[in-house]
């Protein structure tokens, strides 16, 4: 999703700074952005480390003089029943999915306040934060907190012209998830079809279908929108609607 978001912002005319824990993951993204005629640079960042997040924002300002949009997209999880999650496992998921978003918002918000020209922050949550998840309660709790954090920051920073909104995606065909399903063989295909059957539109989402609304939230087309979360999940399944 992050790769698609970066590319679609570049396609819309933005210069895009990209980050990941591993720089090699960013090379094809940087090439795609440059091929669209936009400027870019890549930085290795662990969103759990405040000094690295702060450094990323400072690098953007050093390179381009300002920061207009921040997208907080880093995420990680693992499947486990609530009673089987270790404290270390819980803390790791919270640190990446919640604390990382907070740090991104904090330092982007500080910079935007200094600029006195407003700005936009887009946080990526999940439908797990809206509906819950029996096998990923740690992830669901973190993503629910991101939704609340978005609402709080939208209120806190609105008078300063800083808009903060959120996207909660449903099942999306990311490269990583598709690779996992492919490696699972026939069982992976069954899982894919089972998930698709639960979606009202009968299919998984494409990464671009998350990236496009992200660009919308950063544009003037959403200029009177802040503190909100857009759920993009293909709709409830017909069965769920009938049972309701």
Measured distance CA(215)–CA(41) in Å, rounded: 19
Distances (CA, A) of 234 to 46, 171, 189, 192, 199: 31, 9, 19, 15, 6
At 215, which CATH number?
3.40.50.720
Residue found by looking up tokens 């954090």 in the block? 149
Tens of pLDDT, residues 5-61: 999 999 999 999 999 999 999 999 999 999 999 999 999 999 999 999 999 999 999
Phi, psi dihedrals of residue 16, rounded to the nearest 5°: -130, 120
Does 38 map to a domain?
no
DSSP state letter for 179: H
Per-residue pLDDT tens over the stretch 103-123: 999 999 999 999 999 999 999
> pLDDT tens across 168-179, in order?
999 999 988 888
Residue 106 lies in a domain: yes
Task: Extract the tokens encoding 76.
Answer: 């990680």
Is 91 a member of any domain?
A: yes
Q: Active-site residue 139, yes or no?
A: yes
Say which of 131, 139, 177, 192 is annotated catalytic: 139
Query: Under a CB-based contact definition with an 8 Å cutoff, are residues 168 and 125 in contact?
Result: yes
Note the pTM of the prediction, 2 decimals: 0.95
Cβ atoms of 213 and 230 within 8 Å: the answer is yes
Determine, yes or no, domain membership for 58: no
Residue 45 lies in a domain: no
pLDDT value, residue 244 = 44
Task: Give a yes or no: residue 137 inside a domain.
Answer: yes
The answer as to whether 125 is a domain residue is yes
- Is 195 domain-assigned? no
């Amino acid at each position: 999703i992050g790769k698609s978001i970066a590319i679609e912002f570049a396609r819309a005319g933005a210069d895009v700074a990209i980050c990941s824990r591993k720089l090699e993951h960013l090379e094809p993204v940087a090439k795609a952005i440059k091929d669209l005629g936009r400027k870019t640079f890549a930085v290795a960042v662990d969103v759990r480390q405040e000094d690295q997040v702060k450094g990323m924002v400072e690098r953007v300002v050093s390179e381009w003089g300002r920061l207009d949009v921040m997208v907080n997209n880093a995420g990680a999880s693992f499947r486990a029943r609530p009673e089987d999650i270790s404290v270390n496992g819980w803390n790791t998921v919270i640190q990446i999915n919640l604390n990382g978003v907070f740090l991104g918002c904090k330092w982007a918000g500080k910079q935007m306040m200094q600029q006195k020209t407003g700005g936009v922050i887009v946080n990526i949550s999940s439908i797990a934060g809206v509906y819950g998840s029996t096998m990923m309660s740690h992830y669901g709790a973190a993503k629910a907190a991101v939704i609340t954090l978005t609402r709080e920051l939208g209120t806190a920073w609105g008078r300063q012209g800083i808009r903060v909104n959120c996207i909660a995606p449903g099942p999306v065909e990311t490269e990583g998830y598709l690779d996992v399903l492919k490696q699972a063989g026939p069982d992976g295909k069954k899982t894919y079809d089972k998930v698709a059957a639960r979606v009202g539109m009968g299919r998984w989402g494409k990464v671009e279908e998350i990236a496009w609304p992200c660009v919308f939230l950063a544009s003037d087309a959403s200029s009177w929108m802040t503190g909100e979360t857009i759920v993009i999940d293909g709709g409830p399944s017909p069965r769920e609607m009938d049972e309701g």
